[in-house]
Amino acid sequence: MRLTDFKALTFDCYGTLIDWESGIADGLSRLASKASHQLSRDQVLEAHARHESDQQQLTPKLPYNQLLAIVYKRLAEEWSSPYELDDAQAYGESVKNWPAFPDSASTLQYLAKYFKLVIVSNVDNESFRASKAKLAVEFDAVVTAEDVGSYKPSARNFECMFDALSSMGIQKGESLHVADSIFHDLAPAGELGIPSCWIHRRFKQRGFGATMRSSIEPVVDYRFTSMAQLVKAHHEELARN
């Protein structure tokens, strides 16, 4: 299908629209500086990904801001870094301060003229409300891990996404899932037969950063390195039509 054929765009939020790697690195900088050994930015992000994914499997119904506080404690133990309970709780609340990518708000405002926009995110509702303000657009539906009671890559989250789309009269195959993470989004989208678009934010960097490593190259319908490139491709299709 062409981009102009889709009726809806479904988005991962953190890593795709919100610069969570900057938020994570900033939020853990003090803890990492007290570690028993020197840590690079990518080492901090990769350790976070490992503990986050493990905790999401252990406590799938725990809201994300509370889960992050546990991740903070686990990282402190791994790095032999002293911390206070308030530090862990503050890190859980720091999602509200994570910045949007510079191209997110303007591109979403453009895309809202042509598509229904849906969020499918591993986040709690309170944190997302703060992030939504940075994105400066009204979404037609929001599906959070807190609402579903599980975290992506669980198929349950995507099934709830299908329910939200169906309520708008949009069938499977008429929406395009836009995401950065292979592990959380693109791999399960492929397994479920969901058309997908890879916003490869880390294209200039090695490794997988704050997401779990994947041994597969995702099979996607579109691949861009920014939201701005997605908008440019859509605009060019409209011009050709």
Residue 230 reports pLDDT greater than 80 = yes
> What is the token pair recorded at 127?
């944190």
Q: What is the mean pLDDT of residues 25-34?
A: 98
Q: How confident is the model at residue 207 (pLDDT cuts 50, 70, 90)?
A: confident
Residue 104 contacts residue 135 (beta carbons within 8 Å): yes
Cβ contact 107:130 at 8 Å = no
62-87 pLDDT, tens digit each: 999 999 999 999 999 999 999 999 99
Q: 215 pLDDT exceeds 80?
A: no
Superfamily of domain 3-19+98-240: HAD superfamily/HAD-like (3.40.50.1000)
- Distance in angstroms (rounded) separating the CA atoms of residues 210 and 56: 14
As a whole number of angstroms, the distance between CA 53 and CA 21 comes to 15
168, 178 contact by CB (below 8 A):
no
CB burial of 106-128 (b: ≥16 within 10 Å; e: otherwise) equals ebbebbeebbbbbbbbbbbeebb
Please give the pLDDT value at position 98. 98
Closest CA to 145 of 23, 209, 222, 55: 55
* Distance (Å) of CA 231 to CA 2, 115, 132, 166, 238: 13, 12, 20, 25, 11
Q: Does domain 21-97 have CATH number 3.40.50.300?
A: no
Give yes or no for residue 1 having a pLDDT over 80: yes
pLDDT in tens, 137-186: 999 999 999 999 999 999 999 999 999 999 999 998 999 999 999 999 99
pLDDT of 190: 95
Domain ranges of the chain: 3-19+98-240, 21-97
From the candidates 12, 19, 180, 185, give the one annotated as an active-site residue: 12
This prediction's pTM = 0.95
Question: Which pLDDT value is given to residue 158?
Answer: 98
Active site residue 185: no
- The pLDDT value recorded for residue 213 is 83
